[in-house]
Amino acid sequence: MDIKIYYEDTDCGGVVYYANYLRYMERARTEYMADRGAPVKELMDLGIIFVIARVEIDYRMSGRYGDTIVIETWVSECTAASITFRHVMKQKESGKVLTEAMAKAVCVDPSIKPKRIPKDIAEKLTA
């Protein structure tokens, strides 16, 4: 997934504000799930909701105003009730790594109680 960096994404120095990488990760996970036949909205309508329980980000280099960032996303682990997503964000032109990140999503029901990930959904997301 490509993300173009706009002025609104940056701090006063033209560098991507650190918390915006979390937004980019969320977009990438949403697209990843939709591309594999498990759109977030459809899952929510079925009472299957994923909430983020843990995030780790290693910042390697700053993204800047005008850059395009490429985000690579994949699942590194899937348990009965959680999925761990990995993200690598790179500067599109140079290929240099900006961040490496992990986000652990827990499956919950509409009342936010943990639940098992349905087998068919887990298979779609880990294929």
SS3 of the chain: the string is CEEECCHHHECCCCEECCCHHHHHHHHHHHHHHHHCCCCHHHHHHCCCEEEEEEEEEEECCCCECCCEEEEEEEEEEECCCEEEEEEEEEECCCCCEEEEEEEEEEEECCCCCECCCCHHHHHHHHC
Considering the segment(s) 2-126 as one domain, its CATH architecture is: Roll (3.10)
pLDDT of residue 127: 87
Q: For 71-99, write each residue's pLDDT tens digit.
A: 999 999 999 999 999 999 999 999 999 99
Q: For 59-69, write each residue's pLDDT tens digit.
A: 999 999 999 99
Q: Which positions are annotated as active-site residues?
A: 11
Q: For 3-59, write each residue's pLDDT tens digit.
A: 999 999 999 999 999 999 999 999 999 999 999 999 999 999 999 999 999 999 999
Q: Is 120 exposed, middle or buried (0-12, 13-18, 19+ CB in 10 A)?
A: exposed
pTM of the entire structure? Answer: 0.93
Show me where the domains of the chain are located: 2-126
